[in-house]
Amino acid sequence: MISSKTSFIALIGNPVSHSLSPIMQNAALQYLGLDLIYIAIPCKDEDLELVLNSLKKINCKGLNITIPHKEKVFNLCSEISPIAGKLKAINTLKLNSKKEWSATNTDVEGFIYPLKTLNLTKKDSIILGSGGAARSVIQGLINLNFSTISVISRNKSSLDELIKNFGCQIEIQGLLNNDNRAQNLIEDADLIVNTTPVGMKTTKNEEITLPFGENFWRSLNSKSIIYDLIYNPAPTSLLKFSAEKGCMTIDGLQMLVAQGLKSLSFWTDGLEVPFHIMNDALKNYLKNK
């Protein structure tokens, strides 16, 4: 029950109305029996500093940060974890003992979660897209001891930036999506991760396509695992297409839940919630939508 003593955790972004975090975090907070609720607060760029400074003064116990503020919050935080510093992106904040924001990023742990039980050491991977999520995916693949990473993207400048940032840690190459070498890479890849938003459910009645078009996928075979970061719709067109080819498929819901569990643990100094509590809440919500 919400009372006059109830505190809150908030998601700060713009837009936030589509976010599933309130559904899964409130299920977890209820499971823990904490007098805490989770809400979503839309916040424009120009208001970010004022909003974050104001939230320090009231009964706010922590924050999630989403698009477009993941990089902009850096100079509003007094402590930054090594992983957030390395990724140049923050997704979780809590107040430290001096009532200043302490920041981390839980996306890498979220991404790794569904892959942990598979033996992927020395395997070859492909990442589609070179935006913010690709950075967490690269770091995750490095942590899992993959042998090579090929990032395929339509954006040369962000590709070059990624290769520059991660090139000293793993054998990584960047290719534009119309590069002929992409077909050989797809044929041989052990894991292909889609980090582009292509295939996401939109309000428009668009025809849903595969990232870079169907022809791009012509050499896919059943040996590759296909991991789509998108969780709505489930399955995406890419995952349906890949399953028909006999591939193992992973959708983005597990990553969403796993990063949420890690954020909750950060806010509550180590409390743990079973994965199924958040996962079931999301599945029920999406089924009835």
Q: Which residues are catalytic?
A: 70
Rounded to a whole number of angstroms, the minimum distance from the CB of residue 97 to ligand NAP is 30
Contact 268, 32 (CB under 8 A): yes
Closest CA to 25 of 265, 268, 264, 284: 264
For residues 122 to 141, the per-residue mask of contacts with ligand NAP, x marking binding by CB under 6 A and - elsewhere, is -------xxxxxx-------
The interface with ligand NAP within residues 98-117 (CB under 6 A) comprises 107, 110
Rounded to a whole number of angstroms, the minimum distance from the CB of residue 57 to ligand NAP is 30
The interface with ligand NAP within residues 238-267 (CB under 6 A) comprises 252, 255-256, 259
The interface with ligand NAP within residues 172-231 (CB under 6 A) comprises 195-198, 200, 211, 229-231
The gap from C-alpha 38 to its chain's centroid, in whole angstroms, comes to: 19
**Closer residue to ligand NAP in complex, CB, 56/156:** 156
Comparing every residue's Cβ against ligand NAP, the nearest one is: 131
User: How far is the C-alpha of 95 from the C-alpha of 53, rounded, in Å?
Assistant: 11
Rounded to a whole number of angstroms, the minimum distance from the CB of residue 253 to ligand NAP is 7
Closest CA to 111 of 95, 91, 85: 91
The interface with ligand NAP within residues 148-177 (CB under 6 A) comprises 153-155, 158
**Closer residue to ligand NAP in complex, CB, 12/99:** 12
Closest CA to 84 of 97, 75, 74: 74
Angle in degrees, 0-180, between the axes of helices 21-32 and 275-287, rounded to the nearest 10: 140
Show the CA angle centred on residue 197, arms to residues 192 and 203, nearest 5°.
Answer: 145
User: How far is the C-alpha of 55 from the C-alpha of 113, rounded, in Å?
Assistant: 31
Q: What is the DSSP letter of 285?
A: H
User: How far is the C-alpha of 108 from the C-alpha of 115, rounded, in Å?
Assistant: 11
**Closer residue to ligand NAP in complex, CB, 56/83:** 83
User: How far is the C-alpha of 146 from the C-alpha of 148, rounded, in Å?
Assistant: 6
Rounded to a whole number of angstroms, the minimum distance from the CB of residue 154 to ligand NAP is 5
Contact 246, 14 (CB under 8 A): no
Contact 190, 224 (CB under 8 A): yes
Rounded to a whole number of angstroms, the minimum distance from the CB of residue 139 to ligand NAP is 13
**Closer residue to ligand NAP in complex, CB, 102/158:** 158
**Closer residue to ligand NAP in complex, CB, 85/131:** 131
Q: How many residues bind ligand NAP (CB under 6 A)?
A: 25
Contacts to ligand NAP by CB under 6 A: 107, 110, 129-134, 153-155, 158, 195-198, 200, 211, 229-231, 252, 255-256, 259
